[in-house]
Amino acid sequence: MTTYDVIILGAGAAGLMAALTAGQRGRRVLVLDHAEVPGKKILISGGGRCNFTNLECAPDKFLSNNRHFAKSALARYTQFDFIDMVARHGIAYHEKTLGQLFCDGSARAIVTMLLDEAARGDVTLKLNHAITDVRRADHFVIETDKGSFSAPALILATGGPSIPKMGATGFAYEVAKRFGLPIIPPRPALVPFTAGGAELDLMTGLAGVAVPDARVSIGKRAFREALLFTHRGLSGPAILQISSYWQPGETVRLDLLPEGDAAEALLAAKRSRAKSELKTILAQLVPSRLAAALTPEAAAARALADLPDKLLLAVAEKVQRWPFIPVGTEGYAKAEVTAGGIDTKALSSQTMEAADVPGLYAIGEAVDVTGWLGGYNFQWAWSSGWAAGMAV
């Protein structure tokens, strides 16, 4: 059995960050992963350019049963600390929109940077290792298909079950449960919605249509970004954002014209362009395929002047206050992250160590802290990884 100071399960964003931090502090660190390459999700993130952080990162951009939990780590290792590392490695980047920072080139540069920093800390990385048992005697003992390893400190960094075909698992929850840590029920987040019935027919017909500026809301929580119709329902950044807040059965309010007043525009057009068709006028407000789909059959071939105000107001209502009740989501297969996870009440917000299991830490997506779309989830991985790496 080989002994280390720290064993980290998971060579993803959080695990590599914890490893390089602990390694550079002189700890003997082993990182174990069942995948054949480290940082797989980093490599595919941000369309291959990795949206590695957000200039506007702040605790209110995260969901958790304890909304205060992420504050300490986010304040101690900030987006600017990570940006410094990126700049030190000469990685060119740009702000795309809403504070989101992306690599100019490939996301691979971020993985290479993390591995270079880990190498500076003499971190040992063992890939292709299937973990068969985790137990605690004097030390934590990890059994794998290629040997046993032990250490007084163990960091769980195996992420959440989103995108299982990439090797994502709920393994961290199993290990946490074994050590008595509570779990907030995990659920897919940042995930497209599915529709049903007539709404599905409508949305399928509109698949590929994008509304560049839509406001979607559940109660007071609202996001204004692009929305996309799909063969199964709705997607696009605005939908992914609100999906993290959605509970089954809840209504999502869609405003496809947040800057305008559709009712006023249609009634005004009825006076000023009485001979025009509804779909023509509507197409000046929303994409033309959407305008055609929202025009009732009875109104299709008639002039605006012949249409009752009531009908125009009903169409305007759909454009700006569409009450959409998703049938469900596209699930873990399409979810960019997993919400819920290891309950933060069992962990120290300073160190990520389990209060009742000294030496056991949990970081990254495995923990019940979930960021908005836009680089926030990586920032949580960096910040929580750093906090644990500094503590072990």
Interface residue list for ligand FDA (CB under 6 A): 9-15, 33-35, 40-41, 44-46, 50-51, 131, 157-159, 162-163, 167-169, 171, 336-337, 364-366, 375-378, 381
CB nearer to ligand FDA: give 312 or 339: 339
Beta strands in 162-232 (DSSP E): 183-189, 193-194, 210-218, 221-229
The residue nearest ligand FDA at its CB is 12
Helix (H, G, I), strand (E, B) or coil at 151: strand
Helix (H, G, I), strand (E, B) or coil at 42: helix
β-pair type (147-151, 153-156): unpaired
CB nearer to ligand FDA: give 346 or 381: 381
315, 282 Cβ separation under 8 angstroms: yes
CB nearer to ligand FDA: give 22 or 168: 168
DSSP state of 276: S
User: Smallest distance, Å, CB 319 to ligand FDA?
Assistant: 31
40: its two tokens = 């797989």
Count how many residues are written for the chain.
392
CB nearer to ligand FDA: give 35 or 311: 35
Helix (H, G, I), strand (E, B) or coil at 387: helix
CA atoms within 13 A on the CB side of 153: 23
Give the integer Cα–Cα distance in Å for 131 and 146: 9
CB nearer to ligand FDA: give 97 or 288: 97
User: Smallest distance, Å, CB 21 to ligand FDA?
Assistant: 13
Amino acid (one-letter) located at 390: M
User: Smallest distance, Å, CB 222 to ligand FDA?
Assistant: 21
User: Smallest distance, Å, CB 125 to ligand FDA?
Assistant: 11
User: Smallest distance, Å, CB 389 to ligand FDA?
Assistant: 13
CB nearer to ligand FDA: give 35 or 263: 35
User: Smallest distance, Å, CB 215 to ligand FDA?
Assistant: 23
